[in-house]
Amino acid sequence: MTRYYALPALSLRSVAVWRRHFLVWKKLAIPSILGNLADPLIVLFGLGYGLGAALGETGGTSYFGFLAGGFMASTTMYAATFESLFSAYSRMHVQKTWEAIVNAPMTLEDVLAGEWAWAATKALAAGVCILIIVAVTGNASFPLALAAIPVTVLIGLAFAALGLSVNAVASGYDFFSYYMTLLLTPMMMLSGVFFPLERLPETVQAVSRALPLYHGVELTRPLLAGIWPANALLHVAVLAAYAIAGFYLATILTRRRLLK
């Protein structure tokens, strides 16, 4: 019988998959990095300075400073999501890259683990680009702000795992709109990216605390400001739980799709 539910057996072979994706990325590195810098620049300056001028202080800091942490976390989330949805789907379904790889002595788990690590790498790259912008505008307090870098990897792993699970049940690119519009966009509004969570009703706040992005924001924002986050261990544990449970789910769903 097909062993859909067995725990994923991770192996170092998946490094070869990561290296494949890295080689593709290297060919398009310059436009990719420019995009990683330009997108947050536009939003941070537009909202941060523009809207910030109207809002004044938010959460005890300038609005730009407040937004920086939330936006770094949410951009990281989107970077991992795009890679694990659209790019992974292209490789799985359109280009048949996964099929080619598993014809070699590689397993589906090797492929998934490579995708997972790669999407987290893209999240890391996006996060570092934002950190540079935030630092240049004088809104990051070093050295503690550097601790936000490993947090981007953790957020990346959590959302890449969820993205790969959605990818495994996708019927086409359009399918991803459901996930993006119905889950990620509301999540961004409920996770304290643009405004402090205290503005929301108590029951809504309870929902927020179950969302992975909320925990990412709660870690990133204080770290950029040079403050050790309250309940840091809890936030890390929730993100890690999403990452690990999500990857297990992605493994099961992908096996069901491809090991028939």
Partner 1 sequence: MNSLEVRNLRKSFGAQEVVCGVDLEVAPGECFGLLGPNGAGKTTTLRLCLGLSDPDAGEIRLLGHPVPDRAREARAQVGVVPQFDSLDPDFSVAENLVVYGRYFGLKDQAVAPRIPELLEFAGLAGRADAKIQTLSGGMKRRLTLARALVNDPKMLFLDEPTTGLDPQARHLIWERLRRLAQEGRTLVLTTHFMEEAERLCNRVAIMDRGRIIVHGSPRELIAQHIEPQVVEVHGPGLEAWLAGARALVQRTELAGDTVFCYAGDVEPLIASLRKQSDLRYLHRPANLEDLFLKLTGRDLRD
Site residues, partner 1 (CB under 8 A): 1-3, 13, 16, 19-20, 23-24, 27, 95-97, 99-107, 259-260
> Residue 24 or residue 51: which is nearer to partner 1 going by CB?
24
CA neighbor of 247 nearest in space, from 179, 157, 153, 122: 157
If the CB atoms of residues 27 and 199 are measured against partner 1, the closer one turns out to be 27
Q: Which is nearer to partner 1, 38 or 259 (CB)?
A: 259
Select 91 or 215, whichever has its Cβ closest to partner 1: 91
Q: Shortest Cβ distance from residue 100 to partner 1 (Å)? A: 4
Encode 52-72: b = buried (16+ Cβ within 10 Å), e = exposed.
Answer: beeeeebbebbbbbbbbbbbb
CA 171 from chain center: how many Å?
A: 22
CB neighbour class for 26 (10 Å; exposed up to 12, middle 13-18, buried from 19): exposed
Q: Residue 91 CB, nearest distance to partner 1 (Å)?
A: 9
Report CA-CA distances (Å) from 184 to 123, 163, 247: 15, 11, 18
Instruction: Tell me how far apart the alpha carbons of residues 89 and 172 are, in angstroms, rounded to a whole number.
Output: 8
Cis ω for the linkage preceding 143 (within 30 of 0): yes
Structure tokens at 83: 């890679």
Nearer to partner 1, 209 or 256 (CB): 256
A 10 A CB-CB count for 24 gives: 14
Q: How far is the CB of 101 from partner 1 (least distance, A)?
A: 6
Nearer to partner 1, 41 or 258 (CB): 258
Residue closer to partner 1 by CB (options 2, 177) is 2
DSSP 87-114: IHHIIIIIS-HHHHHHHSS--HHHHHHH
Whole-number minimum distance, CB 15 to partner 1, in Å? 8
Tell me the closest approach of the beta carbon of residue 171 to partner 1, in angstroms: 18
**To the nearest whole angstrom, how small is the minimum distance from the Cβ of residue 170 to partner 1?**
19
* Closest distance to partner 1 from the beta carbon of 75 (Å): 25
